[in-house]
Amino acid sequence: MADRWRTKSIEQSIADTDEPGTRLRKDLSWWHLCVFGVSVVIGAGIFTVTASTAGDITGPAIWISFLMAATTCGLAALCYAEFASMLPVAGSAYTFSYATFGEFLAWTIGWNLVLELAIGGAVVAKGWSSYLQTVFGLAGSTINFGSFTLDWGALLIVALVASLLALGTKLSSQFSMVVTAIKVSVVVLVIVVGAFYIKAANYSPFIPPPRAGNAGTGLDRSLLSLLTGAHSSHYGWYGVLAGASIVFFAFIGFDIVATMAEETKNPQRDVPRGILATLGLVSVLYVAVSVVLSGMVPYTVLKSTPDGHHANLATAFAANGVHWASGIISVGALAGLTTVVMVLLLGGCRVLFAMARDGLLPRRLAKTGSHGTPVRITVLVALLVAATASAFPTDKLEEMVNVGTLFAFLLVSAGVIVLRRTRPDLPRGFRAPLVPLLPIASVCACLWLMLNLTVVTWIRFGVWMVAGTAIYLGYGRRHSVLARGATAAAGGRVQLVNDAF
């Protein structure tokens, strides 16, 4: 059992970045990191999740839910910034946990990051495919083979962005910069134009009374409402809390900035800047959009229909007769989702790269190509995401992404406290303020949002965790580089004893 808690030293983690054959190219500045961060965070959340959550869960109080989610991310971001400035190695929370909590928890975090990034990428790829139909007036982006349906639109976007990633991270950043400029401009357009259509009456009731009925009950109610005996987590204060856990999906990806620390020229300075700049910018945009959106139309207009159709930003503009703006929003969403898919794939590749380099997955996957990128892992991740996006329904998987990410945030926050006590000597390019109070607040905020996820999400999360534990026990524990090193060292000691006799 003790081998599961073996830790990988900070020094060894940094030394491994210079290992021939698995070395990543250092091309990025804090500006590139910020572009990647904004390009992934401004996407599915702001164009789709905002409207549907306001209509179905929170009502006009949606911006309070965003503030709650942003505060939780802000606390975690400060902890990420300290870790990344101290340990500029690919893998983000996985690598941080390996240095503090040991190999098993590191594997668990890595496994959850794969859940976050791969399923998140699949969900967004399907959203991209849907917007492709809207923008170009296509009859459909799927092909039916009997009972099997192939989403060729999702396949197309995954293949495109995977090719860019294989050709180099800097090229991907330059592509992201152009597309991100387009979608940020669209978001600003939404705020400026939408502000002229705000009606004060639409903000009342600010927090609608809880909705009675079958929706939001049983396994589909939040864990908190189940534990406290509340009958529903739709509207009311339970709805606002549940909404914060759902719109948290909109912030998914800022932690990807930390996964790219190894490819940054000056990570001690630039990674904290990239993380904090990303989160600050998108938080302001999200709150502004949610205030404008809930003022443009009554929240009832944004409710999902019985056939499963969800409202989005374009819905509010179409309801006010501003059809030209709804068309521009659709184009912006298509551009925005393109970079979201790309950066989610990038993050997933870097986490798996770090795990493979440590031997918890086959080490041959970590080999880098002539462009300084892990081509084999890029292809593998692209195939997994494409298969999931093109062949499987992804409804309700957003919450699965959230629970895995919140768990990672929780451990990173706790890790700051641990390393402040165990390794106070380590140089830190950035120091989170108010330690241990701030990390403790981050842990509590993450737990709070996790409690507001649905019961069925927790059940699915448990199944995912069981599967990951089985893979670690069956492969990772025995093939770990640390395990082989410990075995070799033990063998050397035995040989020395034998030689002495």
Please report, in tens digits, the pLDDT of each residue of the chain (501 residues total): 556 667 887 778 878 777 777 777 777 888 888 887 887 788 766 777 788 889 888 999 999 999 999 999 889 888 988 888 888 887 777 888 888 888 998 898 888 888 778 888 888 888 788 777 767 665 556 666 666 667 788 888 898 888 888 877 666 667 777 888 888 888 899 899 999 999 999 999 999 988 654 444 556 677 766 777 665 557 888 888 888 888 887 787 777 777 777 888 888 888 888 888 888 899 999 999 999 999 999 999 988 777 656 777 888 888 898 888 877 887 888 887 888 888 788 888 888 888 998 999 998 888 887 667 788 898 988 998 888 777 666 555 666 777 888 888 898 899 899 889 988 888 888 899 999 999 999 999 999 888 878 888 888 889 989 999 999 999 989 889 887 775 554 444 334 223 433
What's the Cα-to-Cα distance from 404 to each of 201, 250, 366, 443, rounded to whole Å?
38, 14, 24, 14
The one-letter amino acid at 385: V
- Give 319: exposed, middle or buried? Use CB within 10 Å, 0-12, 13-18, 19+: middle
| pLDDT for position 487 | 54
Please report, to the nearest 10 degrees, the dihedral formed by the alpha carbons of residues 184, 172, 132, 52 taken in order.
-50
Provide CB contacts within 8 A for 365, sequence distance 6+: 352, 353, 356, 374, 376, 377, 380
Omega cis (within 30) before 205: yes
Residue type, 182: I
Q: Are 247 and 45 in contact (CB under 8 A)?
A: yes
* pLDDT tens digits, 21-46: 777 777 788 888 888 788 778 876 67
Which tokens sit at 501? Answer: 């006799």
145 three-state secondary structure: strand
Residues 374/357, Cβ–Cβ less than 8 Å: no
pLDDT in tens, 228-246: 766 555 788 888 888 888 8
SS3 140: coil
Angle between helical axes of 267-296 and 169-195 (0-180°, round to 10): 30
Are the C-beta atoms of 382 and 159 separated by less than 8 Å? yes
Please name every residue paired with 222 in a beta bridge, in sequence order, or none if there are none.
454
Predicted pLDDT of residue 332: 81
Domains of the chain: 2-500 (1.20.1740.10)
The rounded distance, in Å, linking the Cα atoms of 377 and 351 is: 10
Alpha-carbon distance of 315 to 107, in angstroms, equals 42
User: What is each CA distance from 273 to 50, 51, 162, 281, in whole angstroms?
Assistant: 27, 30, 27, 12
Which pLDDT score is estimated for 212?
58
Q: Which residues contact 135 (CB under 8 A, 6 or more apart)?
A: 330, 331, 334
What is the predicted pLDDT for the residue at 498?
A: 37
**Whole-Å CA distances, 347 to 155, 178, 352, 447:** 19, 20, 9, 24
Check: CB of residue 3 under 8 Å from CB of residue 103.
Answer: yes
Where does residue 475 rank: exposed (0-12), middle (13-18), buried (19+ CB within 10 A)? middle
Q: How far apart are CA 91 and CA 107, in angstroms?
A: 11
Sort 471 into a burial class: Cβ within 10 Å, 0-12 / 13-18 / 19+: middle
Place of tokens 């409402």: 225
- Res 500: pLDDT: 34
pLDDT tens by residue, 324-354:
887 788 788 888 788 888 878 888 888 888 8
> Cβ(447)–Cβ(132) under 8 Å?
no
Q: CA–CA separation, 153 vs 129, rounded Å?
A: 5
Report pLDDT for 61: 94
C-alpha–C-alpha distance, residues 166 and 345, integer Å: 11
pLDDT of residue 215: 44
Q: Is 210 exposed, middle or buried (0-12, 13-18, 19+ CB in 10 A)?
A: middle
What's the pLDDT score for residue 88? 80
What's the distance, CA 365 to chain centroid? 23
Residue type present at position 172: S
What is the spatial distance between Cα 97 and Cα 203, in angstroms, rounded to a whole number?
A: 44
Rounded distance, CA 469 to CA 362, Å?
A: 17
- 321 Cβ contact list (under 8 Å, min separation 6): none
pLDDT of residue 145: 62
Q: By three-state DSSP, how is residue 370 classified?
A: coil
Interior/surface letters 152-174, b for 16+ CB within 10 angstroms, e for the rest: ebbbbbbeebbebbbbbbbebbe
Residue with tokens 């025995």: 478
- Rounded CA-CA distance 23/16 in Å is 8
